[in-house]
């Protein structure tokens, strides 16, 4: 089970925001982050907790290793308005966090 | 370019069955595990099922285990989701997604990330 927080946040352009995902057991870094915009399929942002997917802006970063993981967006941009999900792929059933809705003030 | 195209969704009555299909192109299909993920209306993502590249290893989410069945036909570059005893709680957009491990293959259901995803096929269960 993946517990994601907060469920929503609102911030200004240029702010730094952090989303946290907590696993119910060790998942050894098998943690991925996805971004979903309205009407679109999710897209991977980070894989293996700390690796930036090709083409994703460097203002996105990830950290964590065993149970607690974070996604940080530095210098928030208007196009970052979306819902963000964490996902563990350490064991089946694979599970997603509940999502964090990021809004721009 | 990797493409995943889902089909088979539609309106179905409770208790009935449905088969979803996902046709893949742009990569060596038999080298990659595949997944189905669903999204209930206005809700988050829920992993439904995954199948290894050779079809020998399969996993299901808790809410569909025993009712849904996944399979693949590597000769047709296709993965299927058979859904039985459908309920209104199965109403969702169903996505097909390719497992990715960063290399030229990704055989296992676990230890990977989902990239890319298809556009989804909508399943509505209603009387």
pLDDT digit string, tens, across residues A22-60: 999 999 999 999 999 999 999 999 999 999 999 999 999
The whole-angstrom distance between A87's CA and the closest CA on chain B is 8
Q: Is the pLDDT confidence value at A82 over 90?
A: yes
Q: Does A44 touch chain B (CB under 8 A)?
A: yes
Residues of B within 8 A of A34 (CB-CB) are 45, 114
Which residue in A33, A41, A49, A83 has the most chain B C-beta atoms within 10 A of its own C-beta, making it the best mutation to test that interface? A41
Report CA Rg, chain A. Answer: 13
* Cα B94 to Cα B70: distance, rounded to the nearest angstrom: 13
Share of chain A above pLDDT 70, in %: 100
User: What tokens does B114 get?
Assistant: 């989902």
CA geometry: angle B112, B106, B108, nearest 5 deg: 70
* Cα B97 to Cα B39: distance, rounded to the nearest angstrom: 13
Share of chain A above pLDDT 90, in %: 97
The strand pairing partners of B105, in sequence order, are: none
* Cα A100 to Cα A7: distance, rounded to the nearest angstrom: 4
Identify the pLDDT of residue B10.
Answer: 98
Identify the pLDDT of residue B61.
Answer: 98
């Amino acid at each position: 089970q993946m517990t994601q927080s907060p469920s929503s946040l609102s911030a200004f352009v240029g702010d730094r925001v952090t989303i946290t995902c907590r696993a119910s057991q060790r998942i050894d870094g098998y943690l991925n982050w996805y971004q979903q915009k309205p009407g679109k399929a999710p897209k991977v942002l980070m894989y293996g907790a700390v690796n930036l997917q090709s083409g994703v802006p460097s203002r996105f970063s990830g950290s964590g290793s065993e149970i607690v993981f974070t996604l940080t967006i530095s210098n928030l941009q208007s196009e970052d308005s979306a819902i963000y999900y964490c996902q563990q792929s350490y064991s089946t059933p694979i599970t997603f966090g509940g999502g964090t809705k990021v809004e721009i003030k | 370019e990797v493409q995943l195209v889902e089909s088979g969704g539609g309106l179905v009555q409770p208790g009935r069955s449905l088969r979803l299909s996902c046709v893949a192109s742009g990569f060596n299909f038999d080298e990659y595990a595949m997944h189905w993920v669903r999204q209930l209306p206005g809700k988050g993502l829920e992993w439904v099922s995954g199948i290894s590249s050779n079809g020998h290893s399969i996993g299901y989410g808790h809410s569909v285990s025993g009712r849904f069945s996944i399979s693949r036909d590597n000769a047709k570059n296709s993965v299927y989701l058979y859904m039985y005893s459908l309920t209104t709680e199965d109403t969702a957009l169903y996505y097909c997604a390719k497992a990715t491990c960063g290399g030229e293959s990704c055989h296992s259901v676990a230890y990977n990330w989902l990239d890319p995803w298809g556009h989804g096929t909508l399943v509505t269960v209603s009387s």
